[in-house]
Structure 1
Amino acid sequence: MRLTEMAMEELEELEEALHNEKEDSPYSNYSQKIRIYKEMYRRLEKTEDEKGYFNYVRKKLIFHLIHYGTYLKMQYEKSEDGAESCLKAALRYDNTNPIAAYRLGFLSYKRQKYQAAMDYFQRAIDCQQKHKESDYRLSEKQLINAHLYLTNSALHLAKQAYERIEELPHDNQEELPNYEFSSLYERLRDSDRHLIQHAFYKISERESTTCSKEECEEVITHEPADTIVLYFNDRNIRLIFNEDATTLSQEQGDILRHLLTKSSKVSPATRMTLHYCFSAGLTGEVNGENLRQAIHRLRNRMRNCNIAHVIETTRFREETAYYFNGSLPYIVMYRVDEGIGYLG
């Protein structure tokens, strides 16, 4: 049966079934969920007496569009069109969303569509303070990068315009303006080099720095002994320990990153502090059982890499909580441009 032919109750039941099913792969049912939320949104948009439920559906739709768009861009080399489509849809439903605009700017810049990139980065900067959802605001590093990409986009456009001027036919006796562009080219090279060299965060128990993709790959190639390495690369999320490796889902990667970098015995992670790791977390649906199952799955994946027991269970403010016990050193690496509230 088509979604348009289903009653609202049937759509809700289908959403619940998708939410509860065991996914074969990360985000395997996100496209289905998006279609359901779009249909629910279409119907609820016309009603005046269910604004609360409408806002719930809208939030879920935007959340899934942004997450799925990011997943498509990361997971498959040839899925940037799909990522762009999801992120543009997110902006249609939430036209002041800074992270969606930022991601679109990054995709446009990568494709050398500098006018579009400039427009998107300017939009992200303008929307940074306007947006009510802190999870979708840019991190400090992303905001700096947005300004750098905006500047570079303008410089690329100026460079292209200057090169076209030189190609135009003109009277040899006509003196064209003598623009001095050597400093522009130098600044453009420097800015691009800076963005490449600081494309990734590299976080350990000792320090937090930025580095290039090449430096991340060097860590993977020559991984330090007895060290947990968590790498959010451009295709998947890798967990590596003493040459044993496994792939994590986005949820598992986000939870482990939080546990490694932000949890401790005195400040353990709870369902509230980890809510951003779950698609349900945007509307406060994460409960203790959701978190318990997620931690159980994560521990199983870590056992695949022969990582000893490093995630402890405790009680904190009358609920079950978890923390990294610090028994092993770690390195976490992820793209600055992939950051979102739950990633930053």
Structure 2
Amino acid sequence: MRYHDISLDELEELEQEIHFQAENTQGDLDYSKIELYDAMHNHLKLLAAEDADYAHYYTYIQQKLINYLLCYCGQAASNDANKRYAAEQAMKKVLQYDPVNPLAAYRLGGLFHQQHMHAEALCQLQQALDNQSRYPENAYQLNADQVKRALQHMSSSSLHIGSRAFAASSVSSTALDSADFSEMFTELCRCTDELRNSAYRILSADEHVQCGHAQVVAAIEKDPKDTIILFFNTDGPELIYNGIREKLPAAHAFLLKHLLLHSCAEKPMKPLDAKAYFLDTHVMTGVTGPTFTKAVEGMMQALREIEIPSAICRADAGNQPAYYFNGTSAYMVIGRVDEELNFG
């Protein structure tokens, strides 16, 4: 690790130097930055063991590392093998920091299932469900649909293991050729179809629909007029409007998702609402106002570049910046159920 011999004070100075770089507001995963925070985490772990005054700082750094990895490496379904590998390493790192994190184990199990590592998938998915019941907070717990999909992944993995054992069995085919095994293969096909057809969720002001990739493609190709489409694609978020498609930095996409789904004039989005999506080690109650404002303005610029009418407004919230979606445009937020996040 490049920061192994650097003191905590020096690490904090380095953190301040990179804090306002574009990567901080765009949200791309940068392992050099992860290494810096990992080194801070190691220092603080030792200090917290000796001095209780460091305990809160240590816990805060650990949580930010976990949030960062979960937010910006949700690319388990990517067609890019390098991105899938990065996602796997990120989830393993989360489990180093937090061995009972349900969401990390769930995502890792899904990755193993995708790669036909079914025994490993079963182990991780079972761990995710076990951790779900004993995790001390609501943060990082699976939502109801993710629990259902974990069970479906487990059923599918078990059936795959059974089918492999059947194919490799030295017992005579006549002894094994029974209705029971025919039913097993039928059930495997059913599980596969269920997982495929419930992988995505489409959220709009009027409805919530769980569907498969084909239905997502059809919804986008239909190209509903004057509709903001925020698509968390497997290769990164996209902003789509009247047929124009543009890549969107991850942090901007998360901000826009929150604004579309959870804000209004009476409940604007404030820096505290965005704290999970930024790394600022010295602010315990949210990101700094300038960082938050810069990110929101960058996101609004992306909307203007593809000629989306002004739909995000600044709110009067005293001495802190706040923004809200004014509801003047139709919207669809599309993403994979497996990659939905809960930070409590």
CA contact (8 A) 1:311 1:322 kept: yes
The residue number in structure 1 matching 2:294 is: 293
Q: CA deviation at 1:28?
A: 4.4
Q: Deviations over 1:260-285 (max 9, x none)?
A: 12222232222233333334499533
The residue number in structure 2 matching 1:222 is: 222
Instruction: Give structure 1 stretches of 5+ with no counterpart.
Output: none
Amino acid of the residue matched to residue 226 of structure 2?
D
Q: Is residue 61 of structure 1 aligned with residue 62 of structure 2?
A: no
Q: CA deviation at 1:7?
A: 2.1
The residue number in structure 2 matching 1:3 is: 3
Amino acid of the residue matched to residue 147 of structure 1?
L
The residue number in structure 1 matching 2:335 is: 334
Q: CA deviation at 1:21?
A: 1.3
The residue number in structure 1 matching 2:273 is: 273
Q: CA deviation at 1:244?
A: 2.1
Q: d(CA) in 1 for partners of 2:154 and 2:237?
A: 29
Q: d(CA) in 2 for partners of 1:23 and 1:176?
A: 57
The residue number in structure 2 matching 1:180 is: 180
Q: Deviations over 1:238-297 (max 9, x none)?
A: 111112222111111111111112222232222233333334499533133332222211
Amino acid of the residue matched to residue 243 of structure 2?
E
Q: CA deviation at 1:131?
A: 2.2
**Secondary structure at the counterpart of residue 273 of structure 2:** coil
Q: CA deviation at 1:196?
A: 0.7
Q: d(CA) in 1 for partners of 2:251 and 2:16?
A: 18
CA contact (8 A) 1:148 1:191 kept: yes
Instruction: Give structure 2 stretches of 5+ with no counterpart.
Output: none
CA contact (8 A) 2:274 2:286 kept: no
Distance change (3 Å), C-alpha of 1:65 and 1:330: closer
The residue number in structure 1 matching 2:261 is: 261
Runs of 4+ aligned structure 1 residues displaced above 6 Å come to: none
The residue number in structure 2 matching 1:84 is: 88
Aligned positions of 1:283-322 closer than 5 A? 283-316=284-317, 319-322=320-323
**Secondary structure at the counterpart of residue 180 of structure 2:** coil
Q: d(CA) in 2 for partners of 1:11 and 1:100?
A: 27
TM-score, normalising length from structure 2?
0.89
The residue number in structure 2 matching 1:244 is: 244
Q: CA deviation at 1:25?
A: 9.0
CA contact (8 A) 1:68 1:86 kept: no
- Which deviates more, 249-258 or 275-284? 275-284
Q: CA deviation at 1:183?
A: 1.6
Computed over aligned residues only, the root mean square deviation of the Cα atoms, in angstroms, reads 2.7
Q: d(CA) in 2 for partners of 1:263 and 1:97?
A: 28
Q: d(CA) in 1 for partners of 2:75 and 2:271?
A: 23
**Secondary structure at the counterpart of residue 41 of structure 1:** helix
Amino acid of the residue matched to residue 193 of structure 1?
D
Aligned positions of 1:88-127 closer than 5 A? 88-127=92-131
The residue number in structure 2 matching 1:205 is: 205
- Identical-residue share of aligned pairs (%): 29
Amino acid of the residue matched to residue 97 of structure 1?
N
Distance change (3 Å), C-alpha of 1:195 and 1:204: same
**Secondary structure at the counterpart of residue 205 of structure 1:** coil
Q: d(CA) in 2 for partners of 1:214 and 1:248?
A: 22
Amino acid of the residue matched to residue 149 of structure 1?
H
Amino acid of the residue matched to residue 299 of structure 1?
M
